[in-house]
């Protein structure tokens, strides 16, 4: 079947990891400020350790239950790790501040991503399929609007809104059902083999593994089941055409350097 829909991952695919240290430092600063409001003095080292444990909690749910905690759930988990007294209204306020941190310290748009989306949007319906953490879908939509990218996407799937994370089938089907296409008519672009690629392939979609974020903390897989591998957004349009050609009986795609 011809490809009608292209779904795209956000983190380390459309936007890069650069700048994450500034967001992390800002989160630590805000947590310590809220503790101070309660008369509690927390060192940066203590909050940093609790934040690492919070990310470990996040990863366990993400990898084992195929879901991601909401911003408020993550914030409450961190709050309790630090032994702070239960103050639901303060937890909600802090969670809201942490949610918008991505707009104050935005991740960089990866090179040629916008140009590629302009090209693809003229030929396919586009959807965004993203797992979330401290930055929820409602805030990430605003980030895309600020980058001038929101207009290209006809449907969205954010894990805090769907209740599931990749590789769960519903993460992809949320977009495909809105656009009324079957998995066989869709292709997913993402950077993680075990979530983006294997989730899409298991569902029957085609997939391109994107390895173009040089700041990513995730190492490239030793092997991939993706239909093609891209190291730069400039390669994506040609690779999609080649993947479609393979489905019609042509040769396996290879990206040009």
How far out from the chain centre does Cα 182 lie? 22
Could you tell me the pTM of the whole model? 0.92
β strands within the chain, DSSP E: 5-8, 125-130, 155-158, 186-190, 206-210, 228-230
Q: What would the two tokens of residue 165 be? A: 């994370």
Helix/strand/coil for 146: helix
Q: Indicate the Cα dihedral angle 6, 159, 12, 243, nearest 10°.
A: -20
The whole-angstrom separation of Cα 64 and Cα 232 is 31
Cβ pair 171, 164 in contact under 8 A: yes
CB atoms within 10 A of CB 211: 18
Confidence of residue 247 (pLDDT cuts 50, 70, 90): low
pLDDT exceeds 50 at position 256: no
pLDDT exceeds 70 at position 111: yes
Domain match, 52 and 171 both: no
Cβ pair 230, 223 in contact under 8 A: no
Domain that holds residue 35: 20-104
Domain match, 215 and 183 both: yes
Range in 61-65, 159-163, 205-209, 248-252 with the lowest mean pLDDT: 248-252
CB atoms within 10 A of CB 117: 24
Q: Tell me the chain's radius of gyration from C-alpha atoms.
A: 19
Domain for residue 43, yes or no? yes
The whole-angstrom separation of Cα 147 and Cα 235 is 21
Domain for residue 223, yes or no? yes
Please identify, among 104, 135, 163, the residue that sits at the C-terminal boundary of a domain: 104
In order, the DSSP letters of 60-85 are HIIIIIS----HHHHHHHHHHHTT--
Any idea what the CATH number is for the domain that residue 181 is in?
3.40.50.1000
Look at the chain and report how many structural domains it folds into.
Answer: 2
Confidence of residue 18 (pLDDT cuts 50, 70, 90): confident
CB atoms within 10 A of CB 147: 17
Domain match, 153 and 177 both: yes
The helix, strand and coil proportions of the chain, stated in percent and rounded to the nearest 5, come to 50, 10, 35
Please identify, among 76, 104, 132, the residue that sits at the C-terminal boundary of a domain: 104
Domain match, 65 and 146 both: no
Domain for residue 255, yes or no? no
Please identify, among 54, 75, 104, the residue that sits at the C-terminal boundary of a domain: 104
pLDDT exceeds 50 at position 251: no
Average pLDDT, the chain: 94
């Amino acid at each position: 079947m011809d490809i009608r829909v292209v779904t795209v991952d956000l983190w380390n695919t459309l936007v890069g990891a650069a700048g994450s240290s500034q967001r992390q430092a800002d989160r630590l600063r805000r947590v310590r400020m809220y503790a101070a409001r309660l008369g509690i003095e927390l060192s940066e080292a203590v909050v940093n350790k609790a934040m690492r444990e919070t990310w470990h909690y996040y990863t366990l749910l993400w990898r084992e239950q195929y879901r991601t905690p909401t911003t408020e759930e993550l914030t409450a988990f961190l709050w309790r790790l630090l032994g702070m007294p239960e103050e639901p209204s303060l937890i909600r306020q802090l969670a809201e501040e942490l949610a918008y941190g991505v707009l104050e310290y935005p991740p960089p748009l990866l090179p040629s991503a916008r140009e590629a989306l302009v090209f693809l949007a003229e030929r396919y319906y586009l959807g965004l399929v993203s797992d979330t953490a401290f930055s929820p879908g409602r805030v990430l939509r605003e980030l895309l609007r600020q980058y001038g990218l929101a207009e290209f996407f006809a449907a969205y799937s954010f894990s805090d809104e769907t209740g599931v994370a990749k590789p769960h089938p519903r993460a992809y089907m949320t977009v495909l059902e809105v656009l009324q296409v079957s998995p066989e008519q869709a292709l997913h672009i993402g950077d993680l083999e075990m979530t983006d690629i294997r989730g899409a392939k298991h569902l029957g979609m085609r997939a391109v593994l994107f390895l173009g974020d040089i700041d990513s903390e995730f190492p490239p897989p030793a092997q991939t089941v993706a239909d093609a591998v891209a190291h730069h957004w400039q390669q994506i349009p040609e690779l999609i055409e080649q993947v479609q050609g393979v489905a019609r009986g042509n040769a396996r795609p290879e990206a040009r350097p």
